[in-house]
Structure 1
Amino acid sequence: MLALSQQDVTMTNLKNRAMGLITISALVGTFSSFFGFGAKDHPLPLWFAIVVIAFVFLILLCVSYILSPAKKWNFGPDPMLIMAAQDYEHRIVWAAAKGMAGAVEKNSEAIARRAWVFFAGVVLLSFEAAFVVAASIGAR
């Protein structure tokens, strides 16, 4: 049961970090004018705005997937397995343990997929920041 509880905490932490990811992405895009673009004498080029918006949009897609409800998320053993094994006490315990093990395995797959999408979002954020810095240096 502890493993299921830890998986729930892991998923919650991943979702919190995803919110931070989109926040930082939006801040990088918003404050890119501080890096040298968007001043009165140096207006923000259209190509720059389009690329930054594309980065923010792609990161938003990653975050949306991470925040979406996990289908078939398990919080405990399958009650049907336990009810089917009600003959002997050891069978009930065995069914509960087997159900929890199955739930942990299914939840692990959902966490792994979201972790990879989070990693993709981090890579996109890195590219966004590098693009903003490189474009501002190149425009000087």
Structure 2
Amino acid sequence: MVSNGDAGKVESAPDGSDRYKLAYEAAMHSLSQQDGTLGNLRNRATGLVTIATVIASFAGFFGVGTKDKPLPAEYAVGLVIFIVLIVAAVMYVLMPKKDWAFGPDAKDILDSEYGGSELLWSQALGMHDSVADNDKEINRRAKAYSVAVVLLGLEAVYTVIVSLVSR
């Protein structure tokens, strides 16, 4: 940064290197946030499968069916369908994605024809594209997670209805 003598007024260096460094750091921060968001989404999705199977287990073995009066097969099939649908949505959230990027590519940096501020510029531009691509995919996975949450709620309601109907 270069000061031009005016109080509080600062101008960028003529070559734009400060701007490129700021863009690079902003892209790194965005990618780091996306990585954290995806990790949190995956952890919560895994919990949904656990909850769904616990609900079905209690309904099938302890809550609804008994030794004298087991859970009717059609109700058990319904619970299995809910679990399969929830697991399918969760698997989409958990599935790794080819070419997923959460930082600069070391090989790309080594192979780059650029140096100095031009290298910062090219890496910031590449990471900006990765942020946009990642954002679309994270949103799709968040929607799949939302579907799994709705299915889990429906499974719980179904289990309560089954317990009332099968008594």
TM-score by length of 1: 0.88
* Correspondence for 1:56: 83
Question: Cα deviations across residues 12-34 of structure 1 (Å, max 9, x unaligned)?
Answer: 11111111000000000000144
Q: Conserved in 2, the CA contact under 8 Å of 1:25 and 1:125? A: yes
Partner of 2:142: 115
Q: 1:77, 1:103 → 2: CA distance?
A: 9
Opposite residue 126 of structure 1, the aligned amino acid is G
What aligned pairs does 1:1-140 form with structure 2 within 5 A after superposition? 1-32=28-59, 33-35=61-63, 37-77=64-104, 79=108, 83-86=112-115, 89-140=116-167
Contact 1:11 1:111 (C-alpha < 8 Å) held by counterparts? yes
RMSD across aligned positions (CA): 1.9
- Kept in 2, the 8 Å contact 1:76–1:100? The answer is yes
**Deviation readout 1:86-138 (Å, 9 max, x if unpaired):** 4xx33222212111111111111111111011011111111111000011112
1:9 is matched by which residue type in structure 2?
Answer: G
Partner Cα separation in structure 2 for residue 99 and residue 93 of structure 1: 10
- In structure 2, give the amino acid aligned to 1:112: N
Q: Supply the AA of the counterpart residue of 1:51.
A: G
Tell me the alpha carbon deviations over residues 35-84 of structure 1, each in whole angstroms, 9 at most, x when there is no partner: 3x21123211000110000100111111111111022211224526x814
Q: Please say if residues 76 and 99 of structure 1, whose CA atoms lie closer than 8 Å, have aligned partners that are also in contact.
A: no
- 5+ residue gaps, structure 2, are 1-27
Answer with 1 or 2: which has the greater Rg.
Answer: 2
Number of aligned residue pairs: give it: 137
AA aligned to 2:112 is M
> Larger % of helix: which?
1
Letter in 1 for 2:114: A
Letter in 1 for 2:150: V
